[in-house]
């Protein structure tokens, strides 16, 4: 009788160890997937920022007399980590707001300057292509951000995301 109880106890311990190991592997896999999806969105956001820097340099070539363009400074691209630091997430939100404000100012100045001055057609063509590229990147970012946000809000990943402090991505206004 005692041998049977020991065998049952041994089987129960083995089952508990197997379940705990499987559970920890699932948590690690989920965390890695969340990080990967977040990094995809962050890479596209950095591409958007670089495209706006290019847009500013093109605009300065086309409209050298536009004094307002000289006063614009492009927000610096900060390294983005998809880790668990909530202060980092707050700085990303602030950076989004600063970047979106910069974009609106730049576009309005380019529109006003293009109506008042004649400019180089090649650079103007590059500006139009740059605007199309930015629109495409914003759409791509929106897709990746939506995928990430949906992924972290589904059960049981929402528990992991809350415990590990993964914040949802901010959506861009697509013009």
pLDDT in tens, 89-110: 455 555 666 666 666 667 776 6
- Alpha-carbon separation of residue 43 from 33, 60, 61, 145, 151 (angstroms): 15, 26, 27, 11, 18
Contact 158, 124 (CB under 8 A): no
Q: What is the pTM of this model?
A: 0.67
Q: What is the pLDDT of residues 63-72, one digit of tens each?
A: 666 556 656 6
Between the two ends of the chain, the Cα-to-Cα distance in Å is 76
Average pLDDT for the chain: 76
CA 82-143-127 angle, to 5 degrees, is 100
Helices assigned H by DSSP within the chain? 2-62, 67-71, 86-116, 121-153, 157-163
80 vs 165: CA distance, rounded Å = 15
């Amino acid at each position: 009788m005692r041998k049977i109880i020991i065998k049952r106890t041994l089987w129960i311990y083995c089952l508990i160890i197997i379940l705990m190991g499987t559970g920890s592997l699932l948590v690690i896999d989920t965390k890695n997937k969340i990080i990967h999806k977040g990094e995809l969105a962050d890479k596209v956001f950095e591409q958007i920022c670089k495209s706006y820097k290019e847009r500013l340099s093109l605009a300065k070539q086309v409209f050298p007399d536009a004094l307002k363009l000289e006063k614009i400074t492009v927000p610096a691209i900060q390294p983005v980590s998809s880790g668990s630091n909530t202060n980092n997430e707050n700085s990303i939100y602030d950076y989004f707001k600063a970047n979106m404000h910069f974009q609106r100012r730049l576009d309005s100045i380019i529109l006003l300057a293009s109506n008042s001055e004649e400019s180089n057609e090649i650079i103007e063509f590059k500006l139009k292509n740059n605007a199309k590229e930015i629109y495409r990147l914003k759409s791509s970012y929106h897709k990746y951000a939506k995928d990430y946000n949906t992924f972290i809000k589904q059960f049981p990943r929402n528990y992991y995301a809350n415990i590990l402090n993964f914040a949802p991505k901010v959506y861009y206004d697509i013009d």
